[in-house]
Structure 1
Amino acid sequence: MSLKIGWIDYLNTLPFNFELTGIKTDFGYQLVKGVPSQINRYLREEDIDVGFVSSAEYIENFKDYYILPDLSISSLNKVHSVLVLSKKPVDQITEIALTTASKTSRYLTRIVFERFFNKKVSYTQLEDINSAETVLLIGDEAIAYRDKFSYTIDLSGEWYKHTKLPFVFALWCVRKESLQHKKSEIIQLSSVLKKSKEKFFEDIEKYIKEAKIKFDTDFAKFYLKNLDFCLSSQHLESLQLFSNYLLEMGLIKGKPDFRIINI
């Protein structure tokens, strides 16, 4: 039975695209595509074996998952694609329309406004970007709309400013049952993803052009080189701090263990 891999076609996932970089696999697989919130649900509901999921998804359901080592999408300061965009300055913001595409970013918005800014705002579900005064957007959508609003709050930048730690947006996670039944394939996938990441940055311009993305090549290079795709002790410290804030705010029920597969 082939390995079902949850896949997100965002600019920030390009380095892991082993089909693009030509890293061959010795196992059968199926890519199941969606936005982050969909991939979270697919992993939770056992529709996929392994996937790139929001950090919040792991934190909330850590008992069901393990983490692939050395892989993440993180930012060491500003991320440029997880943004609260507004027509008003921060002190005038009273309501934020939140994208449904990522739970991690929704939680981070609350931490930034309620803990870092000490500001109470109301939250609604985003329905129409163009009619909203203040919105949370992520990924390619955030990049596309970043110049259409007067004020920009880079959530990862605010996290770094207040914690001096990178922010971990997403992790490669595998279901416990899948690790038991498809361990060989998952270990191979972990190796393939690492090799793809390394190969991508050896000739970043070539792969950006081959991917035929909708963004300017120079911006894409700047954006991707600005990101961090590792998972070090510092990243784990940041995940623990993020979890502590969520626990204090009553957004999660218990403190997670970060269980990384020993490969």
Structure 2
Amino acid sequence: MSLKIGWIDYLNTLPFNFELTGVKADFDYQLIKGVPSQINQYLRKGSIDVGFVSSAEYIENFKDYYILPDLSISSLNKVHSVLVLSEKPVNQITEIALTTASKTSRYLTRIVFEKFLNKKVFYTDLKDINKIDTALLIGDEAIAYRDKYPYSIDLSGEWYRHTKLPFVFALWCVRKESFQRKKSEILKLSSVLKISKEKFFEDMEKYLKKSKIDFDTDFAKFYLKNLDFCLSSQHFESLQLFSNYLLEMGLIEEKPDFEVIK
């Protein structure tokens, strides 16, 4: 039975694209594609075995998942693709339309505004970017719209400014039941993803051209070099702090354990 892998085609997931980098996957697999919120849902329901999911998805459902080691999408300061964009300066913002594509970024918005900026705002779900003056956007959409608004708050930059820690946006996670049934394939995938990440950065320009991305190559190189794809003790410290804020704000019910496959 093939391994079902949840896959997100964003600029920031390119280093893990082992088909792009030519790293051989010595097992049967199927890529199930979607936006982050869809991949979260697929993993939760068991439609996929393993996937790149938001940190919030792991934190809320940690009893069902293991984490693959040494892999994440994180930022050591500004991330440039998780942005609150506005027609107004921050002191005049009263309402934010939140993308439904990422729960982690929605939670981070609340922490930044309510805890760091000490500001109460009203939140809605983003439906039409052209009909609102302040929105949370993520990923390729945030990059596309970032220059169209006079004011921009980089949420990862705010997190770093207040905590001096990287922010972990996404993790590679596997369902515990899938790990028991497909341990060999999961361990191989974990190795393939790590090798792909390393290979990608050895010749980034080559793989960016092969990928046919819609972004300027110079910007893509700057953007990807600014991200952090590792998962160290400092990253786990950040995840613990993020969880503490969510617990304190009543957004989660219990503090998670962070279990990494061996």
- 2:94, 2:110 → 1: CA distance? 13
What are the Cα deviations for residues 206-229 of structure 1, in whole angstroms up to 9, with x where unaligned? 000110000000000000000000
Q: Deviations over 1:174-233 (max 9, x none)?
A: 000000000000000000000000000000000001100000000000000000000000
Aligned to 1:61: 61
Q: Offset at 1:54?
A: 0.2
> Structure 1 residue 25: deviation in Å?
1.0
Of 126-135 and 105-114, the range deviating more from structure 2: 126-135
Aligned to 1:147: 147
Aligned partner of 2:202 in structure 1 is 202
Partner of 1:126: 126
Residue 14 of structure 2 is matched in structure 1 by 14
1:202-241 alignment, distance < 5 Å: 202-241=202-241
Task: Verify: 1:27 aligned to 2:13, yes or no.
Answer: no
Q: Deviations over 1:149-183 (max 9, x none)?
A: 11000000000000000000000000000000000
Q: Distance in 1 between matches of 2:129 and 2:226?
A: 26
Aligned to 1:179: 179
Output the CA distance in 2 between the equivalents of 1:205 and 1:26. 26
How many Å separate the matches in 1 of 2:230 and 2:127?
34
Identity %: 85
1:238-249 superposed matches below 5 A: 238-249=238-249
Following the alignment from structure 2 to structure 1, what is the Cα–Cα distance between the partners of residues 25 and 96?
43
Structure 1 match to 2:160: 160
| 1:40-68 CA-partner distances (Å, limit 9, x unpaired) | 00000000000000000000000000000
Q: Which amino acid aligns with 1:232?
A: S
Q: Secondary structure at the match of 1:118?
A: coil
Partner of 1:2: 2
Shift of 1:88: 0.1
Aligned equivalents of 1:224, 1:132: Cα separation in 2 = 29
> Tell me, what secondary structure is at the counterpart of 2:147?
coil
Does 1:250 find its partner at 2:250?
yes
Spell out structure 1 runs of 4+ moving beyond 2 A.
Answer: none
Partners of 1:175 and 1:187 lie apart in 2 by 13
Distance 1:145 1:76 in 2: 22
Q: Match of 1:112? A: 112
In the alignment, the residues of structure 2 paired with residue 221 and residue 137 of structure 1 have an alpha-carbon distance, to the nearest angstrom, of 21
SS in structure 2 of the partner of residue 53 of structure 1: strand
Query: What's the CA shift for 1:130?
Result: 1.4
Structure 2 match to 1:97: 97
2:12 counterpart letter in structure 1: N
CA RMSD of aligned residues (A): 0.3
Opposite residue 87 of structure 2, the aligned amino acid is: K
* One-letter identity of the residue aligned with 2:252: I
Distance in 2, matches of 1:140 and 1:130, equals: 17
Counterpart CA distance in 1 for 2:94 and 2:25 is 50
Between the aligned partners of 1:25 and 1:8, the Cα distance in structure 2 is: 18
2:51 equivalent in structure 1: 51
- Number of positions where the alignment pairs a residue of Structure 1 with one of Structure 2: 262
Distance 2:251 2:25 in 1: 39
Structure 1 residue 253, shift from structure 2 partner: 0.3
Partners of 1:191 and 1:180 in 2: CA distance: 17
- SS of 2:169's equivalent? strand
Structure 1 residues without counterparts, runs of 5 or longer:
none
Structure 2 gap segments, 5+ residues each: none
Secondary structure at the aligned position of 1:72 is classed as strand
